[in-house]
């Protein structure tokens, strides 16, 4: 029984080493660093800045939305640094799924890939819906009123939209056709739209500084009474908060940050693109595009909340309404044009990596292999593109933006958490990710293969029997199997501790603020144990492998990334978690019924070329 469990565990952790023959991708490499930067900015600066800002400021954070974007940006930049190291570590273009598969194991790669599919599908559907909202606002809500009158959807619990959106479906169909033609054409369209978008956002920021009123960041209860028909202070507090810069308190800021995280989703599409020089271009493009997007989000949210009191914002089209409020009504057309361009590039950024992740997983046999077929002329995964477009179109047809955003965030946050864990573990392992040896060592494979003296020394270095002293006083300056296993164990333990700490903070935050000693003592104990694990990891020798980019401040920075990601996940609603568990259950059914047997890493699996 024990042998069967051990064998099953090895199957879940099997890896695909990057051989020289695998470095060349089936896709045509044609994108420069500037192309990738434009793709990342275009994919990220979309619905978040034009639509999401109004919802978060109005319902969750008020003027403190700028802090929400700051926290969300911190999480995304930390994750972006981890993505950048993966891009420098693995000498081929690919998503976090590919990087994880060649470095830490199959089950983790599947979890990341499955969550990226969720994020990209929902991202495509939600941005298409946002595009439709923006266009509808330009024509005086004529489209929505027509479908509400003749095709209403009435489902209990607000689980679906009030009306279907054929316009959003048409957008996704057109984008699917564009992506089916090839990468170069899509990238050119994206760069043109991104240029228009950035210009409009600059105009919005300058307008906010000129026409804004700093008094809108310090509203009082009297301000709410004067501008609404509500006079009951309790109702006002429930609806609009307590006023000031942070009207909904710290809990509102964190909840807003969890939603604003959606605004930064998209930069990882850079890792899926066909870069000419992925080991150099991917790290530079990821970091540069995230910094650019944070500046844009921070500036626009500042301008928005200065131009118009947050409690009067329109949650669907905040920027055009804000310009109307300051009597610059004609500017709404420039903003609308910019928002349509931004949403178009964001739609492209969401849809672009989706079929590539599906194709990669299908090619490896973890999901159905027929999805991996490539078109000979365009060198695009035609089947994966069409099917993913159809699924996204169905979601855009039936579901509203606010229903989709949080589910997208939770899947992406989990993927980013696992990427940070992978980077942390890999930096303390012996060997290289493009060797087959570490896979055999880490899983203690029993197959017949020759070990030369160097490999034997790596497996059994002199005096390497484990003792507690090795936790803090390693005997080697280079990573060994024992030191690598210590990091594995400490990372797993710290992941559990951080999850527990974030859960306690989410549930018992009010008690902690009230001075509940039991909650404070529990948090302090978990924090101390986490720092102890961090100290153990820090004491282990790091790999000296030369990379074009490495995450700085190890092991602290990936651990901070893990903490921020999990903390944001805990702010999401119970309904979102139920939907996410259902999605993961579906994924595990597919993996354990099909993928684990048909995986290319399985010696008994199907032929990868079939």
3-state secondary structure 194-224: HHHHHHHHHHHHHHHHHHCCHHHHCCCHHHH
More confident residue, 300 or 238: 300
The predicted model scores a pTM of: 0.76
More confident residue, 275 or 325: 325
Ranges 65-69, 375-379, 554-558: which has the least confidence: 375-379
Tell me what pLDDT residue 432 has: 56
* CATH number of the domain that residue 62 is part of: 1.20.1740.10
The answer to whether residue 365 sits within a structural domain is no
The 10s digit of each residue's pLDDT in 490-520 is 998 999 999 999 998 888 877 777 777 888 8
Q: Which two tokens stand for residue 278?
A: 């992925």
Q: Report DSSP letters for 222-264, one per residue.
A: HHHHHHSS---HHHHHHHHTT-SSSTTHHHHHHHHHHHHHHHH
Alpha-carbon distances, residue 31 vs 21, 36, 276, 351 (angstroms): 21, 7, 6, 17
The answer to whether residue 286 sits within a structural domain is yes
More confident residue, 26 or 392: 392
Q: Which two tokens stand for residue 388?
A: 């993913």
Helix 278-307 × helix 318-325 angle, to 10°: 40
Q: Which pLDDT band holds residue 263 (cuts at 50, 70, 90)?
A: confident
Q: What is the mean pLDDT of residues 321-334?
A: 84
Q: Which pLDDT band holds residue 81 (cuts at 50, 70, 90)?
A: confident
3-state secondary structure of 275: strand
Tell me what pLDDT residue 571 has: 82
The mean of the pLDDT values for the chain is: 78
The answer to whether residue 597 sits within a structural domain is no
Q: Measured between alpha carbons, how far is 419 from 349 in angstroms, rounded to an integer?
A: 20
Ranges 175-189, 233-247, 408-422, 484-498: which has the least confidence: 175-189
pLDDT at 478 over 70: yes
The answer to whether residue 92 sits within a structural domain is yes
* Measured distance between the N- and C-terminal CA atoms of the chain, rounded to whole angstroms: 34
- CA geometry: angle 597, 603, 607, nearest 5 deg: 75
**How many Å is the maximal CA-CA distance in the chain?**
82
Alpha-carbon distances, residue 155 vs 152, 158, 163, 203 (angstroms): 10, 6, 10, 41
pLDDT at 279 over 80: no
Residues spanned by the domain of 397: 51-353+380-426
Q: Which pLDDT band holds residue 449 (cuts at 50, 70, 90)?
A: very low
The 10s digit of each residue's pLDDT in 417-446 is 888 888 888 888 886 554 444 433 333 433
pLDDT at 166 over 90: no
Q: What is the mean pLDDT of residues 323-347?
A: 81
Tell me what pLDDT residue 90 has: 64
Place of tokens 């990936």: 558
Q: What is the mean pLDDT of residues 220-239?
A: 78
The answer to whether residue 21 sits within a structural domain is no
Q: What is the mean pLDDT of residues 326-338?
A: 81
pLDDT at 31 over 60: yes
Tell me what pLDDT residue 457 has: 44
Q: Which two tokens stand for residue 250?
A: 């710290």
pLDDT at 594 over 80: yes
Tell me what pLDDT residue 243 has: 82
Tell me what pLDDT residue 226 has: 78
Residue 400: other Cβ atoms inside 10 A:
19
Torsion of CA 579, 581, 585, 591, to 10 degrees: 110
The 10s digit of each residue's pLDDT in 583-592 is 899 999 999 9
pLDDT at 183 over 60: no
The answer to whether residue 109 sits within a structural domain is yes
Tell me what pLDDT residue 445 has: 38
Tell me what pLDDT residue 458 has: 47
Q: What is the mean pLDDT of residues 332-352?
A: 78
Place of tokens 């564009």: 178
C-beta of residue 510 within 8 angstroms of C-beta of residue 470: no
Q: Which pLDDT band holds residue 450 (cuts at 50, 70, 90)?
A: very low
Ranges 227-236, 420-429, 514-523, 592-601: which has the least confidence: 227-236
Ranges 62-76, 261-275, 313-327, 522-536: which has the least confidence: 261-275
Among 88, 85, 98, 95, which Cα is nearest to 18's?
98
Q: What is the mean pLDDT of residues 127-142?
A: 80
3-state secondary structure of 576: helix
How many domains does the chain contain in total?
A: 1
More confident residue, 444 or 138: 138
Residue 4: other Cβ atoms inside 10 A:
8
Q: Which pLDDT band holds residue 305 (cuts at 50, 70, 90)?
A: very high
Q: What is residue 31's DSSP assignment? A: B
Q: What is the mean pLDDT of residues 258-278?
A: 72
Q: What is the mean pLDDT of residues 211-232?
A: 82
Tell me what pLDDT residue 606 has: 43
pLDDT at 609 over 50: no
Ranges 60-74, 142-156, 212-226, 294-308: which has the least confidence: 142-156
The answer to whether residue 312 sits within a structural domain is yes
Among 337, 199, 277, 380, which Cα is nearest to 35's?
277
Tell me what pLDDT residue 518 has: 85
Ranges 211-225, 366-380, 461-475: which has the least confidence: 461-475
The answer to whether residue 599 sits within a structural domain is no
Q: How much of the chain, in percent, has pLDDT values that exceed 70?
A: 83
Q: What is residue 476's DSSP assignment? A: -
Tell me what pLDDT residue 185 has: 56
Q: Which two tokens stand for residue 64?
A: 């403190």
């Amino acid at each position: 029984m024990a042998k069967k469990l051990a064998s099953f565990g090895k199957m879940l952790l099997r890896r695909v080493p990057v051989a020289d023959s695998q470095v060349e991708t089936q896709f045509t490499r044609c994108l420069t660093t500037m192309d990738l930067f434009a793709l990342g900015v275009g994919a990220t600066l979309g619905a978040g800045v034009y639509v999401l800002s109004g919802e978060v400021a109005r319902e969750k954070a008020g003027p403190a939305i700028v802090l929400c974007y700051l926290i969300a940006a911190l999480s995304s930049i930390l994750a972006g640094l981890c993505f950048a190291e993966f891009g420098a570590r693995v000498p081929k273009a690919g998503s976090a799924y590919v990087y994880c598969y060649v470095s830490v194991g199959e089950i983790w790669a599947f979890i990341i890939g499955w969550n990226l599919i969720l994020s990209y599908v929902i991202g495509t559907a939600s941005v298409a819906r946002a595009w439709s909202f923006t266009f509808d606002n330009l024509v005086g809500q004529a489209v929505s009123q027509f479908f509400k009158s003749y095709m209403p959807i009435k489902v209990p619990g607000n689980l679906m939209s009030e009306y279907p959106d054929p316009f959003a479906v048409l957008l996704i169909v057109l984008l699917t056709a564009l992506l089916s033609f090839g990468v170069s054409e899509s990238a050119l369209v994206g760069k043109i739209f991104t240029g228009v978008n950035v210009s409009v956002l600059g105009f919005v920021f300058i307008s906010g500084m000129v026409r804004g009123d700093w008094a809108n960041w310090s509203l009082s209860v009297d301000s709410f009474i004067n501008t609404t028909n509500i006079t009951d202070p309790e109702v006002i507090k429930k609806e609009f908060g307590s006023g000031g810069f942070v009207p909904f308190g710290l809990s509102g800021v964190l909840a807003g940050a969890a939603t604003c995280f959606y605004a930064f989703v998209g930069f990882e599409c850079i890792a899926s693109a066909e870069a000419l020089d992925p080991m150099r271009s991917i790290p530079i493009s990821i970091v540069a595009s995230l910094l650019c997007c944070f500046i844009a989000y921070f500036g626009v949210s500042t301008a928005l909340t200065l131009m118009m009191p947050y409690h009067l914002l329109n949650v669907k089209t905040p920027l055009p309404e804000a310009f109307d409020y300051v009597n610059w009504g004609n500017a709404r057309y420039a903003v609308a044009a910019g928002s349509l361009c931004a949403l178009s590039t964001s739609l492209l950024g969401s849809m672009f990596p989706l079929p590539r992740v599906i194709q990669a997983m299908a090619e490896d046999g973890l999901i159905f292999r027929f999805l991996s077929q490539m078109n000979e002329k365009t060198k695009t995964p035609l089947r994966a593109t069409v099917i993913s477009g159809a699924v996204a179109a169905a979601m855009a047809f039936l579901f509203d933006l606010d229903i989709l955003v949080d589910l997208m965030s939770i899947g992406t946050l989990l993927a980013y958490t696992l990427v940070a864990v992978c980077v942390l573990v890999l930096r303390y392992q012996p060997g290289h990710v493009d060797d087959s040896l570490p896979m055999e060592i880490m899983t203690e494979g029993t197959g017949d293969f020759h070990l030369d003296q160097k490999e034997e020394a790596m497996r059994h270095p002199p005096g390497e029997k484990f003792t507690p002293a090795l936790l803090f006083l390693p005997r080697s300056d280079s990573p060994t199997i024992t030191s690598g296993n210590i990091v594995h164990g400490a990372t797993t333990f710290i992941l559990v501790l951080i999850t527990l700490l974030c859960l306690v903070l989410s549930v018992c935050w009010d008690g902690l603020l009230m001075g509940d000693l039991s909650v404070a003592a529990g948090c302090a104990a978990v924090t101390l144990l986490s720092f102890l694990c961090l100290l153990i990891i820090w004491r282990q020798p790091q790999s000296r492998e030369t990379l074009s980019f490495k995450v700085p401040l190890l092991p602290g920075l990936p651990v901070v990334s893990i903490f921020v990601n999990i903390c944001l996940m805990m702010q999401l609603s119970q309904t979102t978690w139920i939907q996410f568990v259902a999605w993961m259950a579906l994924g595990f059914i597919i993996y354990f019924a099909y993928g684990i047997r048909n995986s290319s890493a399985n010696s008994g699996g199907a032929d990868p070329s079939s």
